[in-house]
Amino acid sequence: MASALVALLGAMLITLGGFAEELISLISADAYPSAAALVLPLSLGFGLASVRPSFRAGLLIMKQTHYMPAVAAVAGALGLGSTWLLVSWAGLSGAAWGTALTAFLSVALGWCVSQRFLPVPINWWHFAITIAIVGFAIQVLASTPDDSLIYKVPVFFIFMCIMLSLLRLAIIGLEAHSTAAEQRPAA
């Protein structure tokens, strides 16, 4: 399930990261070119926050949710320190990346603690491939010259087809895992 969520998150990030300037110009009558740099990290942070429950499954299923405040506090403290450093280094853009980093730390720490109570296997290769494709897609879309939707739209659709294929592979893997679990004899 986490692989499917990461593939969906990747599709969202490609969309928002690749078309940040166009989206800002649609939303606002004034031109805010610096705002486009904030779209991707803030979207990543909110996207990570949305997949966090999937990575804390062990805490939720095993009713060990009393660990969640400690995980949030540690992630928040690390994120606050990192954000402070990033703001002093990169200003408002650093604050946005600090938000994404804090969300990532919350997901990662929650997963680590959750594994202690209910180990859930994660397909890390799927994650690595998805992250590489998303990063490449955003780089390609963001590096196009201004006003080049004729180029961006077909490239965007190619990357969306790749992301949908990854999503389909994740769902097939989830269905296969579910079928195998149903066919196991009861202990």
Tell me the pLDDT tens digit for each residue of 68-106.
999 999 999 999 999 999 999 988 889 989 999 999 999
Q: How far is CA 21 from CA 34, 122, 153, in A?
A: 9, 35, 14
Report the 10 Å Cβ neighbour count for 163. 23
For the chain, the average pLDDT equals 79
Paired tokens of 83 = 């954000």
Least confident of 56-70, 122-136, 164-178: 164-178
Which of 86, 13, 14 has its CA nearest to residue 48? Answer: 13
Q: How far is CA 66 from the centre of its chain?
A: 25
Q: How far is CA 105 from the centre of its chain?
A: 12
Q: Is pLDDT at 7 greater than 80 in this prediction?
A: no
Q: In this predicted structure, what is the pLDDT of residue 176?
A: 64
Q: In this predicted structure, what is the pLDDT of residue 147?
A: 60
Q: What is the rounded distance in angstroms from the CA atom of residue 137 to the CA atom of residue 131?
A: 10
Model pLDDT for residues 129-160, shown as the tens digit of each residue? 877 788 778 777 777 766 667 777 777 888 78
User: In 56-148, which residue ranges form alpha helices assigned H by DSSP?
Assistant: 57-61, 68-90, 92-117, 124-142
Model pLDDT for residues 13-59, shown as the tens digit of each residue? 777 777 777 776 666 666 666 677 777 788 888 888 877 888 888 88
Sign of CA dihedral 124, 125, 126, 128: positive
Q: In this predicted structure, what is the pLDDT of residue 83?
A: 93
Q: In this predicted structure, what is the pLDDT of residue 66?
A: 94
181: Cβ–Cβ under 8 A, 6 or more apart, which residues? none
Q: In this predicted structure, what is the pLDDT of residue 172?
A: 72
With cut-offs at 50, 70 and 90, classify the pLDDT of residue 182.
low
Q: What is the rounded distance in angstroms from the CA atom of residue 141 to the CA atom of residue 9?
A: 17
Report the 10 Å Cβ neighbour count for 29. 6
**pLDDT top residue among 182 and 62:** 62
Q: In this predicted structure, what is the pLDDT of residue 129?
A: 80
